[in-house]
Amino acid sequence: MKIVFATNNAHKLREVARELGDSYTLLTPRDCGVTEDIPENEPTLEGNALAKARYIRSRTGLDCFADDTGLEVDALGGEPGVRSARYATDGHDDEANKRLLLERMASVDDRSARFRTAIALIAGDEEILFEGVVRGAISREEMGSNGFGYDPIFIPEGFDRSFAQMTDDEKNAVSHRGRAVRKLVDYLRKR
């Protein structure tokens, strides 16, 4: 079966493809001729995930899913949250985002945070939401070079290493996206 994942992010595609296995052929928007940027203007992760999935569905007619992820820092009132990818600039500038977050956290003792992923699936006439959450803390400096985004400054609960210091398999086993994707995959296998 074919299913479209509304992303062109190679890291996300690799993480999701590993979980989906051979049951589905995972397509990207580009594979389906959708080359424009997909709007992300909703005030919540769930809203953005649904908007992206609906956008892809309207252009391809295929079953699809989309995700939106946010890093929510307790001491910053949940920032950067839904604006995580555009925290420092309107573009996706991982380095600027990490730098700004570390600057804002420089004198903060409460480093608790959580990563949260919302996945919206449109399959047939159904729209279903899945969520994955991992609690942890913001480090005081970058650690590791694997992963992407905020991975070098997020230490998941129960670990003394950042996501960027873990192998892909270690990260996927405990990550927010991994948890949400496993819920999605379980649902798809039961359909």
- What DSSP letter does each residue of 90-135 carry, written as one string? SS--HHHHHHHHHHHHTT-S--EEEEEEEEEEEETTEEEEEEEEEE
Helix axes 10-20, 176-190, angle to 10 degrees: 40
Other Cβ atoms within 10 Å of 140 Cβ, number = 12
Identify the CA nearest to 12 among candidates 132, 189, 139, 137. 132
Residue 68 appears among annotated catalytic residues: yes
Identify the CA nearest to 128 among candidates 76, 22, 53. 53
Both structure tokens of 66: 């989309």
Task: For residues 21 and 23, give the distance between their C-alpha atoms in angstroms, rounded to a whole number.
Answer: 6
Selecting among 22, 68, 93, 109, the annotated active-site residue is 68
Give the residue numbers marked as catalytic.
68
